[in-house]
């Protein structure tokens, strides 16, 4: 046996092991130190002061969780404009035309197909008066169930995720979920007034695949200052949650498959939402 060669191999292995251990310990200490600073009362106060400059108030508990989550690969349901589709929403007598994506009937109901993935069905203008003295949750639940049944739309894999209720408007959103995290680009949204549903919007994933790529998220508190990059002010934050999200930019119309990243979502008291990217 070549002892000199064996000793050399052992020494090299020992050095590599020590480098690994030192790097691991240093990384753990650094991460713990960073988290301590980020979760400190001073850091929270600085974030609150930054948002107050734009009159943005935080009226909810800020999650302290960090996540290590897979990136999702999503195929979207492509909508073919057919006579059957138009008949389903607008009734008889309307024929498909080439390169036309907005149709209406004699009742002034409108069906719009956006980017071959999204349906916007406008039944009528919103009723301007107040919603009557009724249980708004039971009222919205019944008319949504009736609408889904009439239009043969399944909610399998979807849960009610977002709810906005005011004196004259109700907005209920069902989203597809992955491991109890909302996929916000795959949704059904119901717009409701005193007379029932006045608008319906839907975009759905056809398949969701868990990729081998995982990402470690920043904390919600780290994400909140990114609100300052948006042109918003005079808002009240009522919820902060982890979601999956794909930014629908100018290329969205050409996309049928894309990745959805773990993304913090901020919801405001007026029902509006902003997704704050995990990366710059």
pLDDT in the model for residue 7: 46
Q: How confident is residue 123, by pLDDT bands cut at 50, 70 and 90? A: very high
Give tens-digit pLDDT for 169-226. Answer: 999 999 999 999 999 999 999 999 999 999 999 999 999 999 988 999 999 999 999 9
* HEC per residue, 123-137: CCCCCCCCCCCCCHH
Q: Is the distance from CB of 51 to CB of 220 less than 8 angstroms?
A: no
**Coil, strand, or helix at residue 7?**
helix
Q: Is the distance from CB of 180 to CB of 192 less than 8 angstroms?
A: no
Q: Is the distance from CB of 54 to CB of 228 less than 8 angstroms?
A: yes
Name the domain boundary from 203, 225, 258: 203
pLDDT in the model for residue 39: 58
Residue 16 has pLDDT above 90, yes or no: no
Domain enclosing residue 269, as ranges? 41-73+212-280
CA distance 113 to 100: 9
Residue 36 has pLDDT above 90, yes or no: no
State the chain's maximal CA–CA distance in angstroms.
94
Q: How confident is residue 53, by pLDDT bands cut at 50, 70 and 90? A: very high
CA distance 184 to 203: 10
Name the domain boundary from 186, 203, 220: 203
pLDDT in the model for residue 35: 52
Q: Are residues 120 and 172 in the same domain?
A: yes
CA distance 56 to 143: 35
Q: Are residues 231 and 126 in the same domain?
A: no
CATH number for 170: 3.30.310
CA distance 1 to 273: 70
Question: What's the mean pLDDT when you consider all of the chain?
Answer: 87
pLDDT in the model for residue 208: 96
Beta partners for 202?
Answer: 119, 188
**Coil, strand, or helix at residue 102?**
strand
pLDDT in the model for residue 57: 96
Q: Are residues 88 and 170 in the same domain?
A: yes
Q: Are residues 92 and 183 in the same domain?
A: yes
Give tens-digit pLDDT for 83-116. Answer: 999 999 999 999 999 999 999 999 999 999 999 9
The total domain count for the chain is 3
Q: Is 108 left (phi over 0), alpha (psi -120 to 50) or beta?
A: left
Residue 118 has pLDDT above 60, yes or no: yes
Q: Is 116 left (phi over 0), alpha (psi -120 to 50) or beta?
A: left
Q: Are residues 33 and 45 in the same domain?
A: no
Q: Are residues 225 and 124 in the same domain?
A: no
Compute CA distances 211 → 70, 72, 75, 242, whole Å: 6, 6, 13, 18
Of residues 11 and 125, more confidently modeled: 125
Q: How confident is residue 18, by pLDDT bands cut at 50, 70 and 90? A: very low
pLDDT in the model for residue 43: 87
Q: Give me the percent of the chain exceeding a pLDDT of 90.
A: 76
Name the domain boundary from 142, 170, 203: 203
Helices (H) and strands (E) in the chain, counts: 5, 13
Q: Give me the percent of the chain exceeding a pLDDT of 70.
A: 85
**Coil, strand, or helix at residue 57?**
strand
Q: Are residues 199 and 83 in the same domain?
A: yes
Q: Are residues 62 and 109 in the same domain?
A: no
Q: Are residues 82 and 69 in the same domain?
A: no
CATH number for 244: 2.40.128
DSSP state of 41: H
Q: Are residues 149 and 83 in the same domain?
A: yes
For the chain, report the end-to-end CA distance as a whole number of angstroms. Answer: 56
Give tens-digit pLDDT for 130-153. Answer: 998 889 989 999 999 999 999 999
Q: Are residues 98 and 26 in the same domain?
A: no
Q: Are residues 167 and 231 in the same domain?
A: no
């Amino acid at each position: 046996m070549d002892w000199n060669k064996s000793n050399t191999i052992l020494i090299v292995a020992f050095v590599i092991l020590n480098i690994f251990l030192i790097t691991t310990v240093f990384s753990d200490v650094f991460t713990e130190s960073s988290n301590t600073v980020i979760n400190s009362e001073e850091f929270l106060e600085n974030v609150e002061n930054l948002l107050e400059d734009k009159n943005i108030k935080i009226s909810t508990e800020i999650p302290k969780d960090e996540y290590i989550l897979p990136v999702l690969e999503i195929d979207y349901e492509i909508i073919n404009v057919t006579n059957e589709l138009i008949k389903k929403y607008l009734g008889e007598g309307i024929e498909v035309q080439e390169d036309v994506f907005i149709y209406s009937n004699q009742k002034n109901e409108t069906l719009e197909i956006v980017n071959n993935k999204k349906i916007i069905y406008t039944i009528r203008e919103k009723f301007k008066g107040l919603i009557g003295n009724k249980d708004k949750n039971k009222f919205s639940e019944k008319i949504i169930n009736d609408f889904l049944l009439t239009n043969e739309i399944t909610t399998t894999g979807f849960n009610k995720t977002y709810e906005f209720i005011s004196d004259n408007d109700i907005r209920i959103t069902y989203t597809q979920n992955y491991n109890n995290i909302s996929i916000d680009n795959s949704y059904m949204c119901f717009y409701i007034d005193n007379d029932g549903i006045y608008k319906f919007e839907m975009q759905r994933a056809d398949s969701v695949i868990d990729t081998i790529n995982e990402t470690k998220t920043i904390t919600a508190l780290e994400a909140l200052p990114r609100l300052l990059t948006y042109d918003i002010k005079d808002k009240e934050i009522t919820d902060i949650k982890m979601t999956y999200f794909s930014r629908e930019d100018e290329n969205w119309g050409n996309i049928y498959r894309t990745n959805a990243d773990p993304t913090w979502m901020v919801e405001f008291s007026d029902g509006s939402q902003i997704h704050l990217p995990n990366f710059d």
